[in-house]
Amino acid sequence: MIEKIAMRRTSLDNSPGPEVVGAVTLAAAGVVVAISVIAVIIVCGFGGSAAAGDEAATKVEEIAPVSLAGRWSGHYYGYGRNGDAQDCGEDGCALTYDIVACKDGWCGIAIKDDNSCGEVAVHLATDAAQGEGAFKGKLELAKGAAPYAIEAWYRTDEESKIGQLHLLGDTGPELLLFRRSYPFEANFARAGDATCKADKATS
């Protein structure tokens, strides 16, 4: 009887009964658990994002664009002939370009016989459709001559570790790769650093 009176008095004094206190305790515990779970999810999420970022950075390094900057020397041939330079006439087939970065991608400045800077004769841009190290653009052997539509492929020689550039070209708006021979074919090797500047050459 005394216990019932005490409980009755507690209720009349607006103090929570034991059932209410128990319910509040359980609710508080549930909130703590929920917060802990959310914290774990957030930490894992940031960890996963950091790992994904590191992986993406590695891939970017692996597919870094090829730089053509430098002086390139070689010979050109007509219709797929890779033989003697005399096929190009008394002046020979030798060509040298200083390739530098420009608004089109890469610009090749012709080097004259006296080693001075000539005109911008080569324009190349990355050709993603052909894969890494592939470029496309145009080349003029002489000012006023019909330009060649060209495609170029870069590779590094396994023995010498020197950069190599192979070009194929044809007159007209584009190069058709399925043909058996080409009006223009050239092989170049990197010969050092470029000294000519695109802004001081004429195009």
CATH of the domain at 95: 2.40.128
The verdict on 21 and 96 lying in the same domain is no
pLDDT at 24 over 50: no
pLDDT category at 194 given cuts 50, 70, 90 is very high
Last residue of a domain, one of 27, 43, 62: 62
Q: Taking the alpha carbons of 52, 54, 58, 63 in that order, is the dihedral positive or negative? A: positive
Query: For 93-113, what is the mean pLDDT?
Result: 94
Contact 170, 176 (CB under 8 A): yes
Query: For 30-55, what is the mean pLDDT?
Result: 49
Query: For 140-155, what is the mean pLDDT?
Result: 90
Last residue of a domain, one of 34, 62, 90: 62
pLDDT category at 93 given cuts 50, 70, 90 is confident
Structural domains of the chain, count: 2
Tell me the C-alpha distance between 90 and 156, whole Å.
31
The verdict on 156 and 81 lying in the same domain is yes
The verdict on 81 and 172 lying in the same domain is yes
pLDDT at 106 over 50: yes
The verdict on 27 and 78 lying in the same domain is no
The verdict on 196 and 106 lying in the same domain is yes
Pairing of strands 148-156, 163-171: antiparallel
pLDDT at 33 over 60: no
Percent of the chain predicted with pLDDT > 90: 40
The model carries a pTM of 0.62
Q: Taking the alpha carbons of 27, 28, 31, 36 in that order, is the dihedral positive or negative? A: negative
Which one is predicted more confidently, 134 or 143? 134
The verdict on 56 and 103 lying in the same domain is no
Q: What pLDDT is attached to residue 43?
A: 43
The verdict on 158 and 196 lying in the same domain is yes
Full domain range(s) for residue 95: 70-200
The verdict on 191 and 153 lying in the same domain is yes
Which one is predicted more confidently, 186 or 53? 186
Q: What pLDDT is attached to residue 87?
A: 55
Q: What pLDDT is attached to residue 199?
A: 80
Query: For 156-177, what is the mean pLDDT?
Result: 86
pLDDT at 161 over 60: yes
Which one is predicted more confidently, 64 or 111? 111
pLDDT at 118 over 80: yes
Q: Based on DSSP, count helices (H) and strands (E) in the chain, helices before strands.
A: 2, 8
The verdict on 84 and 145 lying in the same domain is yes
Q: What pLDDT is attached to residue 57?
A: 45
The verdict on 125 and 56 lying in the same domain is no
